[in-house]
Structure 1
Amino acid sequence: MNVISAVKAYVLKMTEESEPGMKVLLMDKETTSVVSMVYGQSEIQQKEVFLLERIDSANYRHSTGLRYLKCLVFLRPTAQNIEALCNELRKPKYGAYYIYFSNIIAKADIKVIAEHDEQEVVKEVQEFYMDYLAVNPHLFSVGLPVCFNGTSWISTALQRSVQGIVSLLLSLKKAPLIRYQANSSACRELAGRIDEVMNKESSLFSYGQNGQPLLLILDRRDDPITPLLNQWTYQAMVHELLTINNNRVNLLNVNPSVSKELSEVVLSAEQDIFYAKNIFMNYGEIGQNIKQLMDQFQAKAKSHQKIESISDMKNFVEAYPQFKKLSGNVTKHVTVVGELSSMVNKYYLLDVSEVEQEISSQNDHSSHLQSIKKLLNNDKVRNFDAVKLVMLYSLRYQNHSNNDIAGLINVLKKRHVSETLTKNIINLLEYAGSHARQSDLFNVENAVKITKRFFKGLSGVDNVYTQHKPLLHDTLEELVKGRLRESLYPYVGNQSNTGRPQDIIVFIVGGTTYEESLTVHSFNKSYPSFNILLGGTYVHNSTSFLEEVEYATRNTSRIHTRNIHVRFE
């Protein structure tokens, strides 16, 4: 179950099935993201696709076509796209159209397309199921930064999630049993809707599969801790501090003086060997590996200094593409790691992370309260990190008789923290406080004892706490051992336990994280007989997670936090 391979196979089929010759690839905003996650533009162009166009672009609508070219059309089957495609076929810009939809398309829509194809330029119409973003081989996203309104689905987000998961199942040829988190109406509704589609489209889901796969649907609100923590593995750390958006990182946002070539960098394991090797490495190891990459580059650069003959020149020219690529890669990763290092030192993130890890993994109210107050008095600690510390404290000690949530919020106010941020502490408790959680997130008996882990490599990094395990870790452990309770995670309809599933797809409503991606990656290595895939409505960092919390709670009353006496203007 490799989602990147699945999407790549479809794109390859799309570009190779049509007749030979130069082609145009016509997409919409979302399908452009789907393709760009797995293929660079230069790779696409190597498949005789010399032009990429957007059907929803004003420039495209007013452009003139080239009738001798073939057009590959890859669109989501939305009403808006069907209408745009019909307009295209009424006055075709190209000589032949090969149409591929990213999901199941209604027969009525195919009929409408056929009626508009008066010049008979459409050569074929197919469904190629890639209606999701393939992030890592074992990680996918539907790309929805918000999905809740209160505790209910935003209706368009529910529909989009159903479409994304159905498309994923069809692309992997899986017809799974479905389980969901019992206390979450959002999980129950999503599970029911997917089951309906699978029954309605039973002919598409009639696979001769070995064993019965499982789709497990979970609610982000059961573990609000994981998205709040600072991260120390490469991909997760870059996303937390710099933000990864469809494999792209905008460095201009954090460093306005960065060179134009590095204002936006692409981090794709498919196109970058160094990134692929270091994606799950910790901060210290990355430092060592960057140094090795630089040494390798310097050795190559030195070897090219002597060009004394025609033969030397020929060898240099032949090696130059790789040399140039290595040069660009070194510069990119040195710059990215440099920005991370700068932020870690500038904002005391090692100190912040140490306290975060202690709160998430230990139960020691008075010690945690003192540690937080100490950091809140340090003006080098960012307001955002200060608020997250109070959030973690609030989630752990919400029901503690001596909790000082109101007092800590008042300290934040004295720091002149914005009201939007301080209000989000209360919002988070309404969204994912103890009343909303099914699992015992702070089970002290099972808490992992914090141990210091030594990192070597980057100067100034001696140790970092990285002992937090997401709740997903425990859930997967129960699942692979056949102990996941049916009362807490029931099956949809009349389905029931048929033994331990080998292929497991986990989908988190409200978004997943790169720390959970690392957990799944580790599980797949530790339990080679199981194949686990992780997805979510979005891949969150703490910023996007809190934006989702704010959106979900903007029209809700303070039902569960009335006892916290804080006055907002």
Structure 2
Amino acid sequence: MNVTLAVKQYVSKMIETSGSGMKVLLMDRETTSVVSVVYSQSEILQKEVYLFERIESQNREPMKHLKALCFLRPTKENVELLVQELRKPKYSVYFIFFSNVISKSEIKALAEADEQEVVAEVQEFYGDFIAVNPHLFSLNLVGVSRGRSWEPLMLQRCTQGLTAVLLSLKKCPMIRYQLSSDLSKRLAENVKQIITKEYELFDFRKTEVPPLLLILDRSDDAITPLLNQWTYQAMVHELLGLNNNRIDLSRVPGVSKDLKEVVLCADNDEFYANNLYLNFGEIGTNIKNLMEDFQKKRPKGQQKLESISDMKAFVETYPQFKKMSGTVSKHVTVVGELSRLVSERVLMEVSEVEQELACQSDHGNAAQMVRRMVQNPRVSELDAVRLVALYALRYERHTSSILPALKGELERRGTSDHLKQMVSRVVEFGGKRVRGSDLITATDAVAITKQFFKGLKGVENVYTQHQPLLQDTLDQLIKGRLKDATFPYLGPSSLRDRPQDIIVFIIGGATYEEALSVYNLNRSCPGVRIVLGGSHVHNTKSFLEEVMSATGQSSERSQGGSRHSNRR
């Protein structure tokens, strides 16, 4: 199961279907993201796609020498835009691919608009999600619920995205959901309804052990998204923000013009692919090795090109050198900025306190450490607030006046009202009242603290003690110990054998720490294949926005989720 490969194959098939000749790729805002995370522009150019346009763009020039590949979500708006396009076609022929199921009435509307008979093909290719990593997908939605209820348009969009993942992976699963979450049950029922209605689409070859879809709720583990991360991909997202594989470095002091926005994609960046899940200590060593390798390979300053063979050798090696030069510059800049932020915001010390809160049970020591960090002027406002929020979650029912005192410290350092509200909002979102599980167990903490931080030469790893709740849930599932009473099946059937293909979806968003757990489980459990998805992939900032929306405060939708529409 590989969601990146599934989307890449859809895009390749679209291009192959249209045959040879120059092409324009016509997309909407969301399908642009879907394509851009799996294919670079240079890769698509090699497939005779020379122009990229948005369907809603009003100033597109007619280019009758081009074939149009339309890859669009089957929304009412997109169908209306296509109808207008077909009435006055700008291109010679149209190959139309919808990223999800389209209704017969909408197909009829397109057929009636195609008076000049320019449409050669209409198909459904189910790339209706963002393939972040081979085992991780996102719908790029923030603010999916209000209180303990779905935002209706978000429920529709999550249903569509999740069924598209199942169709792209060719899985017709049994479904389990988190009983303590009404959101999970509603989504499970909606997905089941689509599978029943579109039964012909889900008529895949039966496997000995049926695939399993497990639907969870973010509120069951509000601790994981609040923790600082120490693996490369997760650190980049937490400290710099990773949006569809792109990082905005424009605010980095002294950054060169060509590095103000960079792309990190494991498919065409070997260094990134090899360091994705390594910790910060190892990345520093590998950057040094990359630099040394680059120094050895770069052409000498006074290189003489005296013969045809000299020139030929230079021309052959130059593209590889130029590519390596770009890779070195990019990663040195990114790692350098991560290092600057870690030092400036004393994140090693902050992270140590976070891990103490998440994994240990020494209340007196934890309270002192949090107070000391909140009083430290080098600790950022955001880091101070999340430490207090973690304390409030961890010691929610502790009968002391420490929490009000910590909130007073936030007040004294001039913390904004918006952020101060987060402490109580986080408890409202993921406190004991709403959780279906106990997040912290002393026995786990004892076992976990025996780990070592590989990159720090034997120093005990206090920075990565925490294991997300998802890891334990999946471990129990794989061993056949996940209780039906807590995670019931939808319908009368249940799985008797050990599951092999597992798709997990977290309502309210997943994290890169959870993606790392899934990556490690896939490597350590032969015969088990797990794919993780979420309504979003969170860093702390996006998670707090999710919390504000879920606890009733209006917040701006980060991806314009309120404008999504449904075909039905």
Same fold, TM exceeding 0.5? yes
Q: Which residue of 2 aligns with 1:504?
A: 502
- Which ranges in structure 1 are unaligned for 5 or more consecutive residues? 557-569
Q: Which residue of 1 aligns with 2:164?
A: 167
Letter in 2 for 1:551: S
Q: Is the 8 A contact 1:283 1:455 kept in 2?
A: no
Q: Is the 8 A contact 2:148 2:550 kept in 1?
A: yes
Q: Is the 8 A contact 2:146 2:549 kept in 1?
A: yes
Give distance in 2, aligned partners of 1:542 and 1:555. Answer: 17
Q: Which residue of 1 aligns with 2:88?
A: 91
Report the TM-score, using the length of structure 2 for normalisation: 0.95
Give distance in 2, aligned partners of 1:455 and 1:485. Answer: 35
Give distance in 1, aligned partners of 2:250 and 2:450. Answer: 37
Paired-residue identity, %: 55
Shift of 1:19: 2.4
Instruction: Give 3-state SS (helix, strand or coil) of 1:140's partner.
Output: strand
Give distance in 2, aligned partners of 1:388 and 1:426. Answer: 11
1:527-546 alignment runs, 5 A limit: 527-546=525-544
Q: Which residue of 1 aligns with 2:215?
A: 217
Indicate whether 1:4 and 2:1 are aligned.
Answer: no
Letter in 1 for 2:177: Y
Q: Which residue of 2 aligns with 1:66?
A: 63
Shift of 1:494: 2.2
Q: Is the 8 A contact 2:450 2:460 kept in 1?
A: no
Shift of 1:464: 5.0
Instruction: Give 3-state SS (helix, strand or coil) of 2:294's partner.
Output: helix
Residues 492-501 or 481-490, more deviating: 492-501
Q: Residues 264 and 457 of structure 1: is their aligned pair in 2 closer, same or farther, counting only changes over 3 Å?
A: farther
Q: Residues 383 and 69 of structure 1: is their aligned pair in 2 closer, same or farther, counting only changes over 3 Å?
A: same
Which has the higher relative contact order, 1 or 2, with Cα contacts under 8 A spaced 6 or more apart? Answer: 2
Residues 20-29 or 294-303, more deviating: 294-303
Shift of 1:420: 0.8
Shift of 1:540: 0.1
Shift of 1:229: 0.4
Of 113, 117, 121, the match for 1:124: 121
1:287-436 alignment runs, 5 A limit: 287-302=284-299, 305-310=302-307, 311-402=309-400, 404-436=402-434
Give distance in 2, aligned partners of 1:507 and 1:170. Answer: 15
Give distance in 1, aligned partners of 2:86 and 2:332. Answer: 49
Give distance in 2, aligned partners of 1:533 and 1:72. Answer: 29
Q: Which residue of 2 aligns with 1:283?
A: 280
Give distance in 2, aligned partners of 1:307 and 1:146. Answer: 61
Q: Residues 457 and 445 of structure 1: is their aligned pair in 2 closer, same or farther, counting only changes over 3 Å?
A: closer
RMSD over equivalenced CA pairs, Å: 1.5
Letter in 1 for 2:449: I
Q: Is the 8 A contact 2:177 2:184 kept in 1?
A: yes
Of 72, 85, 96, the match for 1:75: 72
Indicate whether 1:200 and 2:197 are aligned.
Answer: yes
Q: Which residue of 1 aligns with 2:37?
A: 37
Q: Residues 100 and 251 of structure 1: is their aligned pair in 2 closer, same or farther, counting only changes over 3 Å?
A: same
Indicate whether 1:230 and 2:228 are aligned.
Answer: yes
Q: Is the 8 A contact 2:72 2:99 kept in 1?
A: yes
Instruction: Give 3-state SS (helix, strand or coil) of 1:98's partner.
Output: strand
Q: Residues 195 and 462 of structure 1: is their aligned pair in 2 closer, same or farther, counting only changes over 3 Å?
A: closer
Give distance in 2, aligned partners of 1:415 and 1:520. Answer: 39
Question: What CA deviation, in whole Å up to 9, does each residue of 1:183-238 have, x standing for no partner?
Answer: 10000000000000000000111111322000000000000000000000000011
Q: Is the 8 A contact 2:522 2:528 kept in 1?
A: yes
Q: Residues 413 and 317 of structure 1: is their aligned pair in 2 closer, same or farther, counting only changes over 3 Å?
A: same
Shift of 1:263: 0.6
Give distance in 1, aligned partners of 2:132 and 2:528. Answer: 20
Give distance in 2, aligned partners of 1:179 and 1:499. Answer: 15
Q: Which residue of 1 aligns with 2:513?
A: 515
Give distance in 2, aligned partners of 1:457 and 1:357. Answer: 17
Question: What CA deviation, in whole Å up to 9, does each residue of 1:477-536 have, x standing for no partner?
Answer: 100000000000011122323322200000000000000000000000010210000000
Question: What CA deviation, in whole Å up to 9, does each residue of 1:542-561 have, x standing for no partner?
Answer: 110001111222359xxxxx
Q: Is the 8 A contact 1:453 1:465 kept in 2?
A: no
Q: Residues 251 and 464 of structure 1: is their aligned pair in 2 closer, same or farther, counting only changes over 3 Å?
A: farther
Q: Residues 180 and 462 of structure 1: is their aligned pair in 2 closer, same or farther, counting only changes over 3 Å?
A: closer
Give distance in 2, aligned partners of 1:307 and 1:324. Answer: 19
Report the TM-score, using the length of structure 1 for normalisation: 0.94
Give distance in 1, aligned partners of 2:62 and 2:36. Answer: 24
Indicate whether 1:246 and 2:240 are aligned.
Answer: no
- Which ranges in structure 2 are unaligned for 5 or more consecutive residues? 555-568
Q: Is the 8 A contact 2:448 2:466 kept in 1?
A: no
Q: How many residues are paired up?
A: 550
Shift of 1:467: 1.3
Of 131, 147, 157, the match for 1:150: 147
Q: Is the 8 A contact 1:375 1:381 kept in 2?
A: yes
Q: Is the 8 A contact 1:287 1:457 kept in 2?
A: no
